[in-house]
Structure 1
Amino acid sequence: MSMPIPAFTWVLAAILLLFPLPALADTGLQTPPHLPPAVVEVKLFQLEHKDVIAIAVETQVTGAGHLLLHKLEPQYHINKRANTVEVTLEARPSLPELAGRTAVITPLPSHRVKTLTVTAGENQLTIAARFNNSTTQPRLTTVKRKPVKQADNTVTFRTYLVLTFADTAAGQPPKTLVIDPGHGGSALGATTNFLLEKDLNLDIALLSRDIFRRHGYDVYMTRTDDSNPRLIDRADAANILQADALISIHNNSLPESAPTAELKRGATALYNSAAARPGKELAALIAGQLADTLRIPQYPLQDRPDLVLLNSTSIPAVIAEVSMLPHPQDAKMISQRVYRLAAAQAIFTATDSYFAGPPQVTAPVTALAAPIPIAANTANSGLAAAAADGTLYYLALAGDIPAGGREKIFRLKPGETTPVSLTDDEAWNLVISGKYLYYSNWSDDHRLYRIKPDGTDKTKLGNHPVSQLAIAGNWLVYVKWTNSRSAQDNNIYRMPLAGGFPQKIGSDQAESVQVLDNWIYYLNGTDGYKIYRIKPNGTGRSKLTEDQAVCLAVADNTIYYSNYSDGQKLYALSTDGRHRVKLSNDPAGFIAAGNGYVYYTNASANHALYRMTAAGHNKQLVCDLGVGPLPIDIVNNAIYYNRQFISTENR
């Protein structure tokens, strides 16, 4: 029987953009000559909630000036029985799998479509799908590929007949995403700093896929191995699946001819403003979330209608550029899987908020009552600190990063509502001890600086590029970043608070450095990001657990960590490694602990900020700002989160 076919075609504007048509005075022009249509490919897509069969019918047309006069509308008829649907096309079979045969039967590992049979006639081809009619019903649509101009000045037209078998269970159907790991195979992508972009792209894409699937999305990967699908085929997949978005994952680079002065670290995203459904909004969300999550600047968005992946899709399509690989710090960051996981989480958070609409934002608390003095912020992320008199020091974004805005140090005294900027330096890893603030000065190659609380007496303490700054007694403890070939050289150093000769503590690649009671706790990247500790004099080094971790915080003789070996769930471990317990099944991202509570970003709840007692009781939602996982600092009776102070009292 015949079945009406909903149109799923390129808009006229897109064709005009690609193939401008001169004005036609003679309305009697004939359709340009073309080859008889042929069935050239059958594509099969199997997702969590649907199976899709796409039958490609193709022809070539001469006379490119009259492209708008040509339409490829395949001639076919359809028969449907109780559990079988047949589509017969009036087209020449040209399938490699039919070479020397008239029929091919393929069993499918699906609870929806059981077998697929392709039968060839002289000028006819039949596709028969046997399906489970108790769980799914077929739906037929057509999808037209953008015309492709060949070297001989002919143009190839392709139309897909698409059979979709979706789950018919009640409820809202899941969103469908196409995730595209950029490059692959012989297409290496950027290759600076001894990294292959194609490998990084694939790992981030696979991590993204897992997160999206855990949250109920249907996800199709254009590749899951070291292959290199054609760009047009990657775009076709998004159109055939009628996906809600296509996200292509890359890591950025600059042409070799670009001046070194143009090299800046950061994330960005590309979109096509000329597309029928531009992805600019999604691109902005992804680029912003990557920058915030990875704590790197954001490049301006790029409008790139010239790219095949962006101009050949009829859905919102975005290319996410996660980092700038030629930049030494970006290269070290993205070479570590913990940050690739953070990038994947950022892509999920941004995309999920894109579909959900604007998030509900909880207003920050602007006045803090009765601050409780605390010691130096040894267990925090280095974004905020508090003095004994209740004065708050923190880093806050000032202006637009691409336009020169910086993460400067601000001061807010008790009772004041207007913060004061202490320096124009782009700072990071802020800690306080005695009469000085210490920080990593990104305006001077990440070198260690100190400054008085009134903004005077700014002094450079050393030439090491530093990160993960903490205080251990009379020592500054930090990880020395390196410009060598490998992040394996990111070792822990110490330096007297007054400055002086830096001393190397150990040879481990260290991450997530925390200090408590004259011990330094860290994730040892050399040993799969397992938790270690060492004394500031370099003695007592020991592994505390075989668990791989993503983040850790220490307080009250306890290490709180996101256990990557157990799905990022929140765990607690005694600082001597003897007692280990799971506190929550929530997958935790960033963590902070103090004043009897542990705070964490909950990846299972839109990365909202939660807290529970140190014993794992009384879980509470602190806030859901829709910003994804971000570092957390505890300062007085407040937390500093997403550049806001939020009261922790009476929650």
Structure 2
Amino acid sequence: MPVFISLFPLLVAIVLLLSPAPAIASMPELLPKSETPAATELKLFHLEHKDVIAIAAETRLPAADIADPLAYKLEPVYHLNRQDNLLEITLAARPFLPELTGQITFTKSFASPRLRQLTMAATSTNELKITAAYNSQTTKTQLTTVKRKRVTNPDNTITFRTYLVISFIDKESTACAEPLATAKADAALIQTESYTFLQDTTTGTPPKTIVLDPGHGGAALGATSNFLFEKELNLDIALLTRDLFQNLGYDVIMTRTDDSNPSLLDRADTANILNADALISIHNNSMPEDMPDPAKKLYRGTTALYNSSAPKPGKELASLLADELAGTLRIHQYPLQDRPGLVVLNSSWVPTVIAEVAMMPHPQDAKMISQRVYRLEAAQAIVQATEKYFKISDTAPLATATPPTITTNSLAVSDPAGTRYYLDLAGDIYAGGREAIYRLKPDEHSPTMLTDDEAWNLNISGKYLYYSNWSDKHRIYRLNLDGTEKIKITDEPANQVTVAGDWLVYIKWTNNKSAQDNNIYKTSLDGRVTQKINSDQSENLSVIGDWVYYLNASDGYKIYKIKLDGTGRTKIAEDQAVFMAAAGNTIYYSNYNDSQKLYAISTEGRNRVKLANDKAGFITVANGNIYYTNASANHAVYRINVTGQNRQMICDLGAGPLPITVLNNVIYYNHLFLRL
């Protein structure tokens, strides 16, 4: 049975997006900073397993007003409400969509099993209302934002565009993210609060999405040699490739299926909006016009282009494509080309390559590619290379089974019987209320307060809870599971307390600020034996087995490890981290050196990879997935698997970055339990 939950405001940012285009009225030449952005374009995508709506919100600002365009943050502001089979979004944007020219409402019906009808209405000069009717029984919805590469205009202004993207995706199961309880255990209250929950999250693996881009088109002929037009060859190879991918179950979209010529940014936008697993742009090569004919005959073969500085470089895919094309077509292979200056390559946030199938001026290449049999061979080579690429990426070292992490900042724990112990607000926090410890048994609807101590770092071991008691100078306390026998374990102020076997591992806090303060200690569970583990100023520790992983503030917050006995101190990475979580043989962290993006590295300091371009805040790992607060998207909670695939938003509570705790199939976040 579906769960119906009202969704309210999500992503709020400081300034909004991108440049105007004519629609209901003529657009001004320049939108001042203080004005609402303009909704300028509607994009619709229909794939085998999903439908996607994207609305572009733009603003254009003087370059002189923007000191650092790369750091400029623009997010659309909108209000979202979900009803039975209906999704309503009110976007703060001036409605300048071509579809609304001369009218205030636009309606389009679809023959899709998911999305049935889309209505867009200009409700005011600064608001656009989007209403989507869909089949909630078979369809799950996702809402994200996707930025376009900024554009510098001839008048020395900069255009910023961000798409509000609504996806309607086939369900794989009936699992959903729904609220389970608050400290007051009032589920009805949760459903009317101004919170946003992602409905109908599936547990199955969705099909991969491929975007195929036939180069050139329309008046852009591409290379013209031996009475062949490159734009026509590219399109036919792409259509054949599409059919082969679809026969294998892939979701495939093409940037053009006719003799049109989409802009280069639009081609990249398609892949970015769909969060495609790969964008493959299909071309055929040429040579300089002034090259002598005898020299042209020496050049024959295939190659592929990529961008090594892209967020997700496609070098591995480019290498496989060039190898497969050369082998299948039995022609020479030229070295790969790293071409960061090409727009399609430097505007795509997904793995992107340009395949140059053959050299059109060469007579033998021209004879070959002029025949459809060879073009089908080229299509098969592209598909085979892509399948190899996905097999490699899906079985990378970091894809091994990952046990749950022992996290710091735990806000909830559970015992084998399924009883949950968690921190929640007791009373009005602005009037002296505290974050106290509560217990909720599986058969109970009302939680029990075990202690009104201001608590943090909640742990469970045997019949006891251990926590940092902020009501008593941050000292470690122990409490029976029934709330009795509260005992002080340490006299020292402790932070990030973690149970590790027979030890409590923690950072001894101090008000002093020297390299010798805030060191890691361990104490026995009864507090009788205490030992110092390191002398680094430490933060954000995780314990796996005999090893403690932490950020070394004495060395610029780089990731270190040390054994529980104080030996084996080792620096793992040179990156500065904002937050990290260790799980199994891998450390996942927010890389401050790369704009806070989500990275992973083995506990031995090898296999360092970027998993997502999102700015990660708090991180935790469970059941082969990474959960993190995404500073790129209003600090919403996101999930991505340990290979960097299947990224999706779980919920946006508008709460800012907060610690995340995962208990089996439940997330505890912002004092709410959410079922995965």
Determine whether 1:146 maps to 2:179: no
Deviations 1:270-322 (A, max 9, x none): 00001010000000000110000000000110110001100000000000000
| Contact map agreement 1:35 1:61 (CA 8 A) in 2 | no
**The residue matched to 1:126 in structure 2 has which SS?**
strand
Determine whether 1:337 maps to 2:372: yes
Structure 1 residue aligned with 2:314:
279
Residues 154 and 350 of structure 1, relative CA distance in 2, 3 Å threshold = same
Residues 57 and 6 of structure 1, relative CA distance in 2, 3 Å threshold = closer
Shift of 1:258: 3.3
Shift of 1:102: 1.0
Alignment root-mean-square deviation, CA: 2.2
Shift of 1:42: 1.1
| Contact map agreement 2:215 2:282 (CA 8 A) in 1 | yes
Deviations 1:57-114 (A, max 9, x none): 0000102552246322111100110100011111110011111211111001200000
Shift of 1:330: 0.2
Give the letter for the 2:320 counterpart: L
Q: Distance in 1 between matches of 2:12 and 2:312?
A: 16
Structure 2 residue aligned with 1:59:
59
| Contact map agreement 1:353 1:359 (CA 8 A) in 2 | no
Structure 2 residue aligned with 1:239:
272
Structure 2 residue aligned with 1:43:
43
In the alignment, which of 173, 178, 202 is matched to residue 206 of structure 2?
173
Structure 2 residue aligned with 1:189:
222
Structure 1 residue aligned with 2:261:
228
**The residue matched to 2:313 in structure 1 has which SS?**
coil
In the alignment, which of 267, 286, 306 is matched to residue 253 of structure 1?
286
Structure 1 residue aligned with 2:139:
136
| Contact map agreement 1:279 1:316 (CA 8 A) in 2 | yes
Residues 298 and 3 of structure 1, relative CA distance in 2, 3 Å threshold = farther
Shift of 1:345: 0.1
Structure 2 residue aligned with 1:78:
80
Shift of 1:35: 5.4
Structure 1 residue aligned with 2:451:
none
Give the letter for the 1:340 counterpart: R
Give the letter for the 1:330 counterpart: D
Q: Distance in 2 between matches of 1:120 and 1:279?
A: 41
With normalisation by structure 2, the TM-score equals 0.48
| Contact map agreement 1:183 1:189 (CA 8 A) in 2 | yes
**The residue matched to 1:240 in structure 2 has which SS?**
helix
Give the letter for the 1:270 counterpart: L
Residues 60 and 217 of structure 1, relative CA distance in 2, 3 Å threshold = same
Q: Distance in 1 between matches of 2:282 and 2:12?
A: 30
| Contact map agreement 1:52 1:165 (CA 8 A) in 2 | yes
Q: Distance in 2 between matches of 1:239 and 1:38?
A: 20
In the alignment, which of 88, 108, 121 is matched to residue 119 of structure 1?
121
Shift of 1:179: 0.2
Structure 2 residue aligned with 1:320:
355
* 1:472-491 alignment, distance < 5 Å: none
Shift of 1:257: 2.3
**The residue matched to 2:226 in structure 1 has which SS?**
helix
**The residue matched to 1:357 in structure 2 has which SS?**
helix
* 1:261-300 alignment, distance < 5 Å: 261=295, 263-300=298-335
Shift of 1:39: 0.4
Give the letter for the 1:46 counterpart: H
Give the letter for the 2:271 counterpart: A
Structure 2 residue aligned with 1:349:
384
| Contact map agreement 2:108 2:119 (CA 8 A) in 1 | yes
Shift of 1:6: 8.3
Q: Distance in 2 between matches of 1:160 and 1:359?
A: 29
Shift of 1:169: 2.4
Q: Distance in 1 between matches of 2:277 and 2:71?
A: 30
Give the letter for the 2:53 counterpart: I
Structure 1 residue aligned with 2:252:
219
| Contact map agreement 1:32 1:69 (CA 8 A) in 2 | no
Structure 2 residue aligned with 1:369:
none
Residues 202 and 69 of structure 1, relative CA distance in 2, 3 Å threshold = closer
Give the letter for the 2:101 counterpart: A
Q: Distance in 2 between matches of 1:201 and 1:212?
A: 16
Structure 2 residue aligned with 1:643:
none
Q: Distance in 1 between matches of 2:9 and 2:118?
A: 23
Residues 7 and 220 of structure 1, relative CA distance in 2, 3 Å threshold = farther
Give the letter for the 2:170 counterpart: D
In the alignment, which of 143, 162, 166 is matched to residue 165 of structure 2?
162
| Contact map agreement 1:6 1:141 (CA 8 A) in 2 | no
**The residue matched to 1:216 in structure 2 has which SS?**
coil
Q: Distance in 2 between matches of 1:45 and 1:285?
A: 28
| Contact map agreement 1:211 1:348 (CA 8 A) in 2 | yes
| Contact map agreement 1:235 1:312 (CA 8 A) in 2 | yes
Residues 258 and 288 of structure 1, relative CA distance in 2, 3 Å threshold = same
Q: Distance in 2 between matches of 1:190 and 1:270?
A: 17
| Contact map agreement 1:288 1:298 (CA 8 A) in 2 | yes
Q: Distance in 2 between matches of 1:244 and 1:359?
A: 11
Residues 69 and 331 of structure 1, relative CA distance in 2, 3 Å threshold = closer
Deviations 1:217-259 (A, max 9, x none): 0000000011101110010000000000000000000111235
> What is the percentage of aligned positions where both structures have the same residue?
63
| Contact map agreement 1:267 1:291 (CA 8 A) in 2 | yes
Q: After TM superposition, which residue ranges in structure 1, 4 or more long, deviate above 3 angstroms?
A: 1-8, 31-36
| Contact map agreement 1:102 1:119 (CA 8 A) in 2 | yes
**The residue matched to 1:356 in structure 2 has which SS?**
helix
Give the letter for the 2:369 counterpart: I
| Contact map agreement 1:34 1:60 (CA 8 A) in 2 | no
Deviations 1:28-53 (A, max 9, x none): xxx99475300001110000000000
Q: Distance in 1 between matches of 2:35 and 2:225?
A: 46
Give the letter for the 1:347 counterpart: I
Deviations 1:305-361 (A, max 9, x none): 00110000000000000000000000000000000000000000000110012999x
| Contact map agreement 1:234 1:309 (CA 8 A) in 2 | yes
**The residue matched to 2:308 in structure 1 has which SS?**
coil
The structure showing larger relative contact order (alpha-carbon pairs under 8 Å, at least 6 residues apart) is 2
In the alignment, which of 219, 224, 232 is matched to residue 199 of structure 1?
232
Q: Distance in 1 between matches of 2:362 and 2:114?
A: 48
Specify every segment of 5 or more residues in structure 1 that has no aligned partner in the other structure, as ranges: 9-30, 361-651
With normalisation by structure 1, the TM-score equals 0.50
Deviations 1:494-541 (A, max 9, x none): xxxxxxxxxxxxxxxxxxxxxxxxxxxxxxxxxxxxxxxxxxxxxxxx
Residues 85 and 323 of structure 1, relative CA distance in 2, 3 Å threshold = same
Residues 257 and 36 of structure 1, relative CA distance in 2, 3 Å threshold = farther
Shift of 1:210: 0.2
Residues 44 and 358 of structure 1, relative CA distance in 2, 3 Å threshold = closer
Q: Distance in 2 between matches of 1:243 and 1:358?
A: 14
| Contact map agreement 1:248 1:319 (CA 8 A) in 2 | yes
* 1:213-612 alignment, distance < 5 Å: 213-260=246-293, 261=295, 263-357=298-392
Residues 5 and 331 of structure 1, relative CA distance in 2, 3 Å threshold = farther
Residues 348 and 6 of structure 1, relative CA distance in 2, 3 Å threshold = farther
Q: Distance in 2 between matches of 1:160 and 1:312?
A: 14
Specify every segment of 5 or more residues in structure 2 that has no aligned partner in the other structure, as ranges: 1-5, 14-30, 174-203, 396-676
